[in-house]
Structure 1
Amino acid sequence: MKLFYRHYGEGQPLIILHGIFGISDNWVTLGKRLAEKFSVYIPDQRNHGQSPHSVTFNYFALADDLHEFIREHKLEKPMIIGHSMGGKVAMTFALEHPEMVEKLVVVDISPRKYPGRNVHFDMISAMMAVNFDAVHSREEVEQLLETSIPNKRIRLFVMKNLYRKTRTTFDWRLNLEALSANMDFVFEGVESSDVYEGPTLFIRGGRSDYLVDDDTPLIMKLFPSARIQTIEKASHWVHADAPTELCRLFSLFLGKECIAPGFED
């Protein structure tokens, strides 16, 4: 599958993978900061953003997309950063193709299986309920989402997927039907009898319950060289809550200073 992507900078290749309902645009600010020292690629994963849609949606398919992307762009041993769902894609790929990954960073997700979270189903239901024949502005769409998604921050995150289809009509870039039908796969664990022994960093948000102390044994089993660090003031959306601290941890782990002067949280 030929993925849409954004590219910044030159140097050693670095790929950033967004999470469920995300798009490459969510990581542009951090991507540009990392691009001071790296050649940064930020793809839209299948059924997201401007990438193609497919009825197939699971971590094996997403990892195959990443493999094809790396081959297509002739990237030699890229470093891979993945957040949430993107972190599980990155883990799956590293376990399947350890020789192709220089370093691995997983942001606020564990390899384990998760119970379904109502917030995800609420987001899908709210988006699918929007009748685009009856709305004519972004403000009207946000008002329709407000009841089902009362958290403004999450609502604005969802709104990133809204685009103007014609001069007067809107639509979602997400393939909501495929995501809804396959949401159980998103909560599945990373299954492998292999290990990735390369340098690995797990970063968790101190205000998030996606990555907890009980996850450590499974992480160390699959990624024996892993280190786990916490950004205390961050929620699951670490890149939005603490971009400077996150970039600092990236810099220390990746071995190159890539923090733009004067950029503060």
Structure 2
Amino acid sequence: MKLYFREVGDPANQPLIILHGLFGSSDNWLTISKSIAALGYRVIMVDQRNHGQSPRSDDHSYPAMAADLHELILNLGLQQPVLVGHSMGGKTVMQYAMTYPTTFSKLVVVDIAPKFYPVHHADILRGLSAIDLSGLKTRNEADDVLKDYEPIPTVRQFLLKNLYRDTNADGSVAFNWRLNLPVITREIHGIGDELTDMQPVPQPTLFIRGERSPYILDSDWPGILRLFPHAKLVTIAEAGHWVQAEKPAEFVAALGEFLV
């Protein structure tokens, strides 16, 4: 699948690819990517399948998403890129590292472990599905519906970035989703699954977690080291799951120290 991407930085610099998490897109990383590019990288931000402006598919498995990433790397002729992934994107880059082990230089996994996670986005999916796009006039109307399912305003703002105005065949304008909501809803259990064909990854790997996030526990670390024997763990103080958004300066500093 040919993925949509954005990029910043000098094309002559070493490539660094960023994959967003569930409900996200490349747009979420645009601001912080400028800081990463200033470290001396060509930063490529990707929309994963069924998200953003990339194509849609009934297959939302990690092997499929890893294959998408491999196709992008080949099509762009990238040599030994650094791979960065947050949450679902972190699982994608871990799957990629196990499937295509000689095609990247370093791995950065943001606030996710290579383990099973139970479904915990059911309320969000119900809330998004409850928004009637056919009669929707404003984002505020969508927010009024979503607040019954998600109480945190910043989370709702993030989710509603997936709404955009589209022109119908008859010339009328209506809201639509940049998410393949039916497939994501159907495949939500698989998004939390363990990775497939797991094997040790010898490349240097950085795991970044938020101090307030439950996604990477201390008890997960021995299992992570068995798969990523050269891994390092950095905990960002006072950050939750959205480490890069909540503490961008600290995130870039940790990334820069690892990449030297």
Give the TM bin, normalised by the shorter chain. over 0.9
Partners of 1:180 and 1:5 lie apart in 2 by 24
**Counterpart code for 1:5:** F
CA-to-partner distance for each residue in 1:145-189, whole Å, 9 max, x for gaps?
A: 111111111101101101011374111110001101111110001
Partners of 1:192 and 1:55 lie apart in 2 by 22
Structure 2: give runs of 5+ residues left out of the alignment: none
Q: Who is 2:72 aligned against?
A: 69
Deviates more, 1:139-148 or 1:19-28: 139-148
Tell me the TM-score normalized by structure 2.
0.95
| Percent of residue pairs bearing the same amino acid type | 45
CA-to-partner distance for each residue in 1:25-45, whole Å, 9 max, x for gaps?
A: 111111111112111100100
The aligned runs of 1:26-175 (5 Å cut-off) are 26-36=28-38, 37-117=40-120, 120-166=121-167, 168-175=173-180
> Alpha-carbon deviation of 1:192?
3.1
**Counterpart code for 1:205:** G
CA contact (8 A) 1:63 1:89 kept: yes
Q: Who is 1:261 aligned against?
A: none
**Counterpart code for 1:15:** I
Partners of 1:133 and 1:198 lie apart in 2 by 49
Q: CA RMSD in A?
A: 1.0
Question: 1:181 pairs with 181, 186, 190, which one?
Answer: 186
Runs of 4+ in 1 over 3 A off after TM superposition: none
Q: Who is 1:249 aligned against?
A: 254
Q: Who is 2:3 aligned against?
A: 3
Question: 1:195 pairs with 191, 200, 208, which one?
Answer: 200
> Alpha-carbon deviation of 1:193?
4.3
Tell me the TM-score normalized by structure 1.
0.93
CA contact (8 A) 2:239 2:247 kept: yes
CA contact (8 A) 1:136 1:168 kept: no
> Alpha-carbon deviation of 1:5?
0.4
**Counterpart code for 1:114:** Y
Partners of 1:148 and 1:21 lie apart in 2 by 15
Partners of 1:157 and 1:170 lie apart in 2 by 16
Structure 1: give runs of 5+ residues left out of the alignment: 256-265
